[in-house]
Amino acid sequence: MKRSALIALLCVFLAFTASDIVSRAIFERLPHLEDEFAYLYQARLFARGDAYIETPAPVRAYWQPFLINLEGKRFGKYTPGWPLILAAGVEMGELWVINAWLSMLTVAVVYRLGREVYNPQTGAVAALLTAISPAAMLLSGSLMAHTLALFLTTLFLYALWRIERGRRVLLWGAIGGAALGLNVLARPMTAIAIAVPFVIYSVGRVGWRFVRRSPREGWRTLRPLLVLGVIASAISLYWPVFNYTVTARPGESFPHYLVRFARGDEDTNLYLYIWDYDKIGFGEGHGRVKGGHTLEIGWRHAKKDLNCASRDLLGWARAAPDQVDIVKNPCAENGRGYSWVVIVAGLLLTLRKRWTWLFLALIVSLIAFYLAYWIGGNLYSARYYSEALTAATLLAAAGIAGLAHWLEAGLRRINAPGARAGRRIVYGALAVLAVYTLAIYAPARLRPLTGYGRISQGQIEQVNRLRQDPDRPVVVIVWGEHHWRDIGALMAVTDPYLDSEIVLARDPDQRYLDTLRARWSDREQLFFFDGRLSRTPPETVATAE
């Protein structure tokens, strides 16, 4: 096995291990953001073969964030791509494995892409940078959709590269179409932002072949791209199919609904069922700011996210202090990051490579598209740009490998003894920085997220300690006003079908405690009120007082 392939293989296992550690040690195998709760809920529905369930009653008793109750149906607000994939983790009983595998596969494809576009050294370095990226670790340890989208983006890029090489082009067209179509199902806006520069490039390439070479050459270039487009479109259709299933008007045909979906009718947009301002674009009604979202606000968010990315992409920044408020300062610290330095070096050293400019165009396109979204995303790093990670690490790797070659060639030119030491200096420095990222920066960056939002395994363990019969399922009845995060861990383990080992039922209005107790008489009953768990029902405590 070649040295570069061996390094890449080690990086593949490093990515899997890092995802496992972050999922277990930081996120405790639990969802923390509202998005993750909705993804998990829908994944559990898909795992049972359902797009939705009948809304359970009382409705508020089984509320979870970002779920929609519409005409007796309950389902998640997000597009169906990621929940469909996450459903495999539900079936296995190991949710974390899905993102860990996707992270591992991403590193493998990054290596192949870097190896073929540039050289084996660049491929190996890109694999290392992708595996140690704190941003990638964070997201792969979560239940967010970004790791899937990153893998699909990387596979899409590799498929286009293979098409351009001219071997098995129809097969790679099909693979690229599947990757793009699934990406639309997982993160539509991201998928479009990624596709746009490559559509422009491909149109130019096909046109050039038709005009400057021959119609036959042009057709040969166009065929795999048509396959890609047809398959991507066909797979993408599952998005409106899902929305039609849960929101169609009585008696409405799918073709009629599809027209309304393409037109952007508001009742076909599941996001708007939760927040009517959750729209892409500018002006009144877009976002929560009076007057609506503006380009100035978008650029303000972009600067914050880019600052975060400059730190979290490679972890080349001063580590955060031990005491940090992760909510007030989502990217842990506002200090400078230097991940961008080697990206600039990669650009300068590989200017003549077309794909260098395509990688840059992908990054720019993602940033430009998300200027039109009303909110930034830097609690979980600069996550709206995370699908550009492959392009960024490939450019950075090209810079590092190019510097190593440049230094060695320079020493040879002046007949310096030990010219090969130039390469060793660069790669030695990279190894030191990689150790710093893994041992110092990443732990300091991720540790403040532990128990974020008061969600941890501790509450589940407390329930299990209070149970008197461990063989009997339990219901935890929450009585009175509370924040949902106070019982978020119990919400996370409650199955939509209410047949899980632990079921959470809420009575925020203090109106149906007796109804819930009767409904769950076959289970051991615990109670949460006044911020604590108890075996004693709340009315008993009130009577005693």
Task: Parse the chain into domains and list their residue ranges.
Answer: 456-544
pLDDT grade for 545, boundaries at 50, 70 and 90: very low
Provide the edge-to-edge strand list for the sheet that holds 73-76: 53-54, 73-76, 67-70
Band (pLDDT 50/70/90 cuts) for residue 318 is confident
What one-character DSSP code corresponds to residue 25?
I
Of 323-337, 432-446, 489-503, 504-518, least confident by mean pLDDT is: 323-337
Distance of CA 259 to the CA centre of its chain: 29
Distance CA 217, CA 281 (A): 40
CA trace torsion 170, 171, 174, 175 (10° rounding): -140
Structure confidence at residue 541 (pLDDT) = 46
pTM of the model as a whole:
0.95
pLDDT tens profile 123-173? 999 999 999 999 999 999 999 999 999 999 999 999 999 999 988 999 999
Cβ burial, residue 341 (10 Å; 0-12/13-18/19+): middle
Helix axes 120-132, 96-117, angle to 10 degrees: 150
In the structure encoding, which two tokens stand for residue 313, read together?
């992409």
Exposure b/e, 254-288, CB count within 10 A at least 16 = b: eeebbebbeeeeeebbbbebeeeebbbebeeebbe
Q: What average pLDDT does range 22-33 have in this prediction? A: 97
Q: In Å, how far are 60, 68, 285 from 289, measured between CA atoms? A: 29, 24, 9
Rg (CA), the chain: 26
Question: How far from each other are the two terminal CA atoms of the chain, in whole angstroms?
Answer: 75
The CB-side HSE value for 37 (13 A sphere, CA atoms) comes to 22
Indicate the DSSP class of residue 249: P
Whether the pLDDT of residue 413 is over 90: the answer is no
Q: What distances in angstroms separate CA 125 from CA 8, 16, 56, 159, one per listed residue?
A: 8, 17, 52, 21
Query: CB within 8 A of 384, min separation 6: which ones?
Result: 190, 305, 366, 370, 373, 376, 377
| Range name among 83-97, 282-296, 326-340 with the lowest pLDDT average | 326-340
- pLDDT exceeds 80 at position 251: yes
Bridge partner list, 169:
none
Check if the beta carbon of residue 14 is closer than 8 Å to that of residue 6: no
Pairing of strands 524-529, 474-479: parallel
